A and B are shown apart, each in its own frame.
Chain A
Amino acid sequence: MTSVVLSAFLLALREIRRNLMRSFLTVLGIVIGVAAVVTMVTLGNGATRAVSEQISSLGSNLLMVRPGQRLGPGRDSAGAPAFRKADAELLRSQIGGLKEVVPVAGSAVTVVAGNNNWSTTVSGTSNGYLPAGNWQIASGRAFLDDEERAGKAVCIIGATVRRELFGTRNPLGDEIRVKSFACQVVGLLVAKGQGAMGMDQDDTLLMPLATVQRRLTGNQDVSSLMISLHDGADTPAIMARIRSLLRERRKLADNEADNFNVMDTKQIAETLSGTIRTMTGLLGAVAAVSLLVGGIGIMNIMLVSVTERTREIGIRLAIGALEHEVLLQFLIEAVVLSASGGLIGIVLALLACIGLSAVLSMSFLFDPSINLLAFAFSAAIGVIFGYMPAQRAARLDPIEALRHE
């Protein structure tokens, strides 16, 4: 039996080599299907991982409150009154279960150090921003109380800002020019890496809120409130209370819509990863159709092969081959064909993942199990779609088959 299997395997390779072009065209459907599945799942896994890392880097439970209606394309906060620092204090004092309420005033600026300049976003905030946003200080220190109170020109910089302005040099104690004033670097944040959808989280610069309000924006506005919750807090209930408190404070009538929005960042990230999963699934379904077509291609070519080789089958049967031995031979041939298609598909998928992850600036996650699964699946296609032609070969009448020209 083993010698029959081995020789069938060698024969299959020989037949494929003899009909190289035909074999390649036959397995094209499987090549494309496998390549698509593996690429989709690999990139999908990479994206899902990026999102889940984003979720964990956000910290446990974080709410963002912004002026304006719900976040989304075409929505802006124009017309909606901004928040003030007092709003943060009010929420902290009126609602229990909040860990931190951190006001943030953002501003896009160009910062300069020596000959280097860099466009980034300054966030004016308090030390509470660090635990709320799950940031760690790599070196240096957080803001001092009097720096926060007096709005001193000090800053804590993210890894990207440090790299762009200082290279590998130690930035602590150096000065950065922000618009018209010089600002001393007192701290450096631990790098977080890329966030969801390629956003660079380390491209950030923190200053005390008062500093930003006085020297950059020139007003008392706060662009968002970051609220971190204790673990196990009842997020929906707290969100509802925040909402009703803010509606009251902003004097909205019952028939007026909110002119602010409260969002649960974790929920957004979860929605995002759900979306990625759905898309991966959809594209996987498309790939499955392509695999089905590929399987039918295999069946077709195996039927052609059985017809072409009727005489050979007749000889084998006449010599004493049993039905299942002939069946096995053609089954092996179909499997070798489809599995080699699967192999080519996997190689193509890996090349595509390397290329696409560079283009989409997204890391991909090599998962051996999906590659193995795709390979096994392609081999299974050979079995499923090769069975009928193989059975046809095995059931040939030896005399009829020998007479076949």
Chain B
Amino acid sequence: MSAADDVPLIRLAGITKTYGEGEVAYQALCGIDLEVNAGEFVAIMGPSGSGKSTAMNILGCLDTPSSGEYLFRGIHVERLGRNQRALLRRHSLGFVFQGFNLLARTSAQENVELPLLYRGEVAPERHAAARRALARVGLNGWETHTPAELSGGQQQRVAIARAIVTQPDVLLADEPTGNLDSKRSHEIMKLLVELNRDQGITILMVTHEPDMADYARRIITFVDGAVASDERRNGKNGASR
């Protein structure tokens, strides 16, 4: 192992997040310490309101912690400005939202191309990469369809294609199967496992379904804004580590 590999990909130290001020202040995270290494497949579980999404937003550099340190590859994310965090998201992170969050009235192809557009890649490369990503999630032939013309499972796969088209280091998925039936959910999970195993993408996934968490090699459980348990096990279908 080289020296660079000694630094974990993600390191949270004493992360807290407080919403609101004064009387109505609410502490959603109260001191999270966490390390995630490159190539891990982590499931985050926990009851509703336990701070999973809050943690994901901070991990995804969409939000900033109230206190504590967040090191991404040794970089202090909590010290970065808005645009620097945007650049980090652009270059290193892929985010899959619970509600798909695809652009309406916009074809699957264009949705997937969007992150490449902001990376300044030229049209032919964007088209090719987006088609590859869509094929990777099993959606070849659906490029020209808009979200309204796609099923929930297909929309979520477009969202995943959009998250992986830039070949990110980390894929963050907040309840990616929350809106899907069991069959579709398992399809999505198998896809995530493949991405983790074949492309070495580090995956952090929030779910409250134990079935889905079973695909991961490591399960972190949140309770009341703190890590209650952190266990490693053998993931289904050969997720790495």
Contact = CB atoms under 8 A, between A and B. Distances in A.
Interface of A: 1, 3-4, 7, 18, 311-312, 314-323, 325, 398-399, 402
Interface residues of B, number: 29
Contacts of A399: 57, 62-63
Given A18-B105, A315-B103, 16 more contacts: A3-B122, A3-B126, A4-B118, A311-B101, A312-B103, A315-B102, A318-B95, A318-B101, A319-B162, A320-B87, A320-B91, A320-B115, A321-B90, A321-B118, A322-B86, A325-B118
B86 A4 contact: no
Nearest to A405: B99
Interface hub of A314, A317, A319, A323 (most chain B Cβ within 10 A): A319
A110 to B, nearest CB: 74
Nearest to B163: A319
Contact of A320 (B97, B103, B105, B118): B118
Interface string B94-138: 010100011111000000001101111111001000000000000
B83 interface: yes
Contacts of A316: 114, 118
Contacts of A18: 105
B87 A3 contact: no
B70 to A, nearest CB: 16
Contacts, number: 61
Contacts of A325: 118
B89 A319 contact: yes
Interface of B: 57, 60, 62-63, 82-83, 86-87, 89-91, 95, 97, 101-105, 114-115, 117-123, 126, 162
B194 to A, nearest CB: 23
A323 B82 contact: yes
Contacts of B97: 318, 402
B114 A319 contact: yes
A318 B57 CA distance: 10
Contacts of A321: 86, 90, 118
Looking at chain A's contact residues, is the secondary structure mostly helix, strand, loop, or mixed? helix
Given A311-B101, A312-B103, A399-B57, A319 B62 contact: no
**Sorted from nearest, which 10 A-B pairs have the closest CB atoms?**
A320-B90, A320-B89, A319-B115, A322-B83, A321-B118, A315-B101, A320-B118, A398-B62, A320-B86, A322-B86
Contacts of B101: 311, 314-315, 318, 402
Given A315-B103, A320-B90, A402-B97, A3 B121 contact: yes
Given A318-B89, A320-B86, A320-B90, A7 B62 contact: no
A322 B62 contact: no
Contact of B62 (A3, A318, A323): A318
Nearest to B99: A402
Contact of B83 (A1, A315, A318, A323): A323
Contact of A7 (B87, B102, B115, B117): B117
A153 B122 CA distance: 86
Contact of B87 (A1, A312, A315, A322): A322
B57 A1 contact: no
A3 B95 CA distance: 23
